[in-house]
Amino acid sequence: MTAALIAFGALSALGEGSNAASAGTVGTSATVALGQDPELVTAGLARPFAGRVAGDPGDDDRATFILLRALAACLADLDSVLPAWRTRRVGLALGTSSGAMRSAELYFADPTQDSRITYGAPATEALRRLGLAPSPVVLVLCACASSTVAIGLGLRWLDQDECDVVLAGGFDAVSVFVAAGFEALRATTERLPPVPFRAGRDGMALGEGAAIVALVRPDDVTQAPLAYVTGFGASTDAVHLTAPDRSGSGLLRASQAAMREACCQDVDLVSAHGTATLFNDAAEAQAIATLLPHTQAVTHAFKAQVGHTLGASGVLESLVCVDALRRGVLPATAGDGPAEGAIRLLSQTQAGSPEAALKLSAAFGGANAALVLARSPSVAPRRAPCAAFVCRAVSVRTMPAVESLALRLRVPVDRLWQSDALCHWALAAVAALQDLLGMSLAAGVVVGSVFGPLETNALFHERLRSRGARRVEPRRFPYTSPNAVAGACAIAFGLTGPSFAVGLGQHAAVEALAAATWLVRAGDADRMVVVAVDDVGPVGSGLGSGGSSGAVALLVSSDTTCGARIGRIRLCQRLSGTAGPFGHMALLPLVEGSVTVRSWCPDARVFAEVEVDDRG
């Protein structure tokens, strides 16, 4: 499937609009917009560097402020190039790594503060203020690959006729919580600029930003698009929660899938994940060299200029590729010295004639995603969507003892104790599903959770408050990512297909089922495990959720012998309705048989429904 990219809105430490994601000026070195960050200095961090978006959010959560500006700019751009877009079916796929984490920090310190602290809170507030009612609407929580996956889902929606216009992208704001965690993992640099792929690299600096792109089918373009998105691929390492597969094989598989879909044999530009960490860069360089053994492609690492913008990084870096393709330039990467490994870096931006670019993303949980962007549409014929079927479902309503769960998973008990209750619920449910099916799952995984790891986040933040930002727990920090659950399941059960979490509101379970179905229909995976999981503790109870802890797991497959066929999917906004069922409980009917599942979230104003009893 090819989509035309016709409009965008973007913010980064470099500026707004085209300045936010510039490929640079020919004959100049890369502009670096990083520096000592006063908030991180005050917190006492040893490596307090970051790139900030300009502007005062006032009373707004900073992530909401950034997202609103990017989304409003994209809508204004869209008004100029496709004036009738509001009369068409519009879908929204957003990605974030930390969501409303800054508001959550205030709430953890004082629960009388604003309680809009969920990962989806900035997105729902932005939709409310801009008067948007998209359908479908999904929040991807795939850590640093979030917006890349969001764009990939947007491609699938256009191909499967879920909507006519896709708004896709991501956002994140810098917070002490996240900065302390990355410093504890020794992933941040002690000097500027970071030097990805070069000798002496020692890590990244954080950044904040947001970007939204508008995608339509090529036949719907009324004027020349900015570029085309011609391929998407996703995979999972299933090796380690935070460290990459040293061979780079997971990222290679995602890249191969994207290039295969784009009918692309070579590219002129590789937009690397490029965190400037020792092992990530080495694994990524190996994947690039294996994928493009005879290429003269330039590799570019934008994070060295604006910082690691987490959930926004994939879309911002894609826009740098778009700028390079449009203006005919090959961008420079910050830093001096030759590249380590068989890749090509430029010290100054050069004139060129790039025709295609490959965007790579990697994330906590071992998730990988890739996009191909090009000046021309793909010549690949459109594929007919596969049918998707639900194969059995199981629920876990009582938490198993950690010792018995470790025995079932054949892992040391100490390793399980390092994870959190949300992971334990999910692992128990997937183990029960595998036992029921009596076979290897051989799949990808999508996790839907209403609150994600908010209970774990509160514990991590308490340590931060009581002992200081430089003494947080490095072993707990990975589990503050919503994508940790997907990664833990992938590692435990060898799930090497696409993996990520979703969770815009209390309809997250139906959101996960829908996402898995889109991927199976597109052929991104023959099988996808869906895990709906909730851990409702003091934080969730304090928010008045009314939900309970538990998990449901099921398998979505293209195998026609498996259970009930999945029919219509609806993830749409409406103004009123009866709340519930909460989270994983929306999928409980599937444990008993094939019925339609639905949920409605009043906070996000999203009605979610998936018909799974359609055999037509």
Task: Report the candidate in 322, 543, 585, 337 with the shortest Cα–Cα distance to residue 449.
Answer: 585
Chain mean position to CA 5: 19
Cβ neighbours of 255 (radius 10 Å)? 29
Among residues 308, 424, 507, 584, the one annotated as catalytic is 308
Considering the candidates 74, 142, 264, 273, report the single residue annotated as catalytic: 273
Which residues touch 397 (CB under 8 Å, ≥6 apart)?
550
Q: Whose structure tokens read 């992530």?
A: 63
Q: Is 327 left (phi over 0), alpha (psi -120 to 50) or beta?
A: alpha
Is 507 an annotated catalytic residue? no
Q: What is the full DSSP assignment across 21-44?
A: G----TTSPPP---EE-HHHHHTT
d(CA 100, CA 124): 11
Contact assessment for residue 602 and residue 577, using Cβ atoms and an 8 Å cutoff:
yes
Residue identified by tokens 């020792």 is 278
Enclosing H/E stretch for 360: strand 356-363
Burial of 467 (0-12, 13-18, 19+ CB in 10 A): exposed
489 catalytic, yes or no?
no
> Euclidean distance between the first and final Cα of the chain, in Å?
25
Active-site annotation holds for 461: no
Cβ density class 258-280: b for 16+ within 10 Å, e for less: bbebbebeebbbbbbbbbbbeeb
Per-residue DSSP letter, 499: E
Residue identified by tokens 């590729």 is 321
Q: What are phi and psi of 70, to 5 degrees?
A: -70, -45
Pick the closest to residue 173 from 146, 206, 129 (CA basis). Answer: 206
The region, left, alpha or beta by phi > 0 then psi within -120 to 50, assigned to residue 73 is alpha
Give me the amino acid identity at 125.
Answer: E
- Tokens at 127, concatenated: 């939709």
**Choosing from 144, 163, 264, 423, which is the catalytic residue?**
144
**DSSP-assigned letters across all residues of 439-494:** S----EEEEE-SSTTHHHHHHHHHHHHHH-GGG--TTTGGGGSTTHHHHHHHHHHT
Give catalytic residue positions. Answer: 144, 273, 308
